[in-house]
């Protein structure tokens, strides 16, 4: 048997790659949104918001990703009375919830790392709480958020392989299906080449994600180059306010 894989196999892997990228993209959007909401809520002056966010974070971090995935794909649709749920949507939500739990703690720690003087400066400038977060706190916190968030995104990429367990045709599912289709001898070199290609695809995707986040880190660091306590604009604006009395 020819050890090289026919073009049909690569077409199937590309189809699986598209599903993997969709799951990763949707899960990342859900995860980042939850991370910001939960991280900010953990530092809220509202006790209820702090409690709910803490419970949410500890719950999603404390349960198995596989169990959460199966629960979202099979148990929740039964409770909601949905006969044929979108496995792509359910898988994305499950991975996004998992990412949000870890990301929420990343955001919380990053916000707390911003010097207290920056918050006091923004209060002196009469900025609302929302504007303080948007224009002063979060931009500085991004320097701390980006490195671990990049690692977390790569972990979510690798976690997308779990969706094959619910029969979603991602990369891992397609590779396993091709191996057991009977068209390829499991003991032939072609089987090893099939999974080598799978490893290579995940590695390349991880390096792309790593490069994107490193570029984002460079942009953020260059934005605040020369400032050790935060944006120069805030300090200068505060000095103007103090000078006026």
pLDDT for res 225: 61
Pull the structure tokens for residue 33.
């949104």
Q: Would the pLDDT of 93 be above 60?
A: yes
As a whole number of angstroms, the distance between CA 67 and CA 220 comes to: 37
Mean pLDDT of the chain: 84
What is the per-residue pLDDT for 134?
A: 82
Instruction: Give me the pLDDT at residue 240, please.
Output: 37
The predicted pLDDT at position 22 comes to 96
CB atoms within 10 A of CB 188: 13
**Cβ distance 7 to 69 under 8 Å?**
no
Distances (CA, A) of 169 to 7, 157, 176, 240: 18, 15, 10, 60
SS (H, E, C) 207-234: HHHHHHHHHHHHHHHHHCCCCCCCCHHH
pLDDT of residue 1: 40
pLDDT digits (tens, 9 = 90+) for 163-202: 999 988 899 888 888 877 766 655 556 677 888 889 999 9
Q: Which domains does the chain have, with CATH numbers?
A: 7-243 (1.10.3720.10)
Q: What is the pLDDT of residue 235?
A: 52
């Amino acid at each position: 048997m020819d050890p090289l894989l026919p073009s049909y196999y690569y077409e199937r892997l590309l189809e699986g790659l598209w599903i993997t990228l969709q799951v990763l993209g949707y899960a990342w959007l859900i995860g980042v949104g939850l991370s910001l909401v939960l991280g900010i809520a953990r530092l809220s002056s509202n006790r209820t918001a702090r409690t709910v966010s803490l419970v949410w974070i500890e719950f999603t971090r404390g349960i198995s990703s596989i169990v959460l995935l199966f629960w979202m794909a099979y148990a929740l649709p039964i409770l909601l009375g949905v006969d044929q749920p979108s496995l792509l949507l359910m898988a994305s939500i499950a991975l996004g919830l998992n990412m949000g739990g870890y990301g929420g703690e990343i955001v919380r720690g990053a916000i707390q790392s911003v010097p207290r003087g920056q918050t006091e400066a923004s209060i002196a400038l009469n900025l609302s709480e929302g504007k303080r977060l948007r224009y002063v706190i979060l931009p500085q916190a991004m320097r701390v958020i980006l490195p671990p968030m990049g690692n977390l995104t790569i972990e979510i990429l690798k976690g997308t392989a779990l969706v094959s367990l619910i029969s979603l045709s991602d990369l891992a599912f397609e590779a396993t299906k091709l191996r057991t289709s009977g068209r390829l001898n499991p003991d032939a070199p072609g089987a090893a080449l099939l999974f080598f290609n799978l490893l290579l695809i995940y590695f390349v995707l991880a390096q792309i994600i790593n490069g994107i986040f490193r570029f984002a880190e460079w942009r953020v660091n260059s934005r605040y180059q020369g400032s050790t306590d935060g944006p120069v604009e805030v300090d200068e604006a505060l000095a103007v306010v103090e000078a006026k009395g």
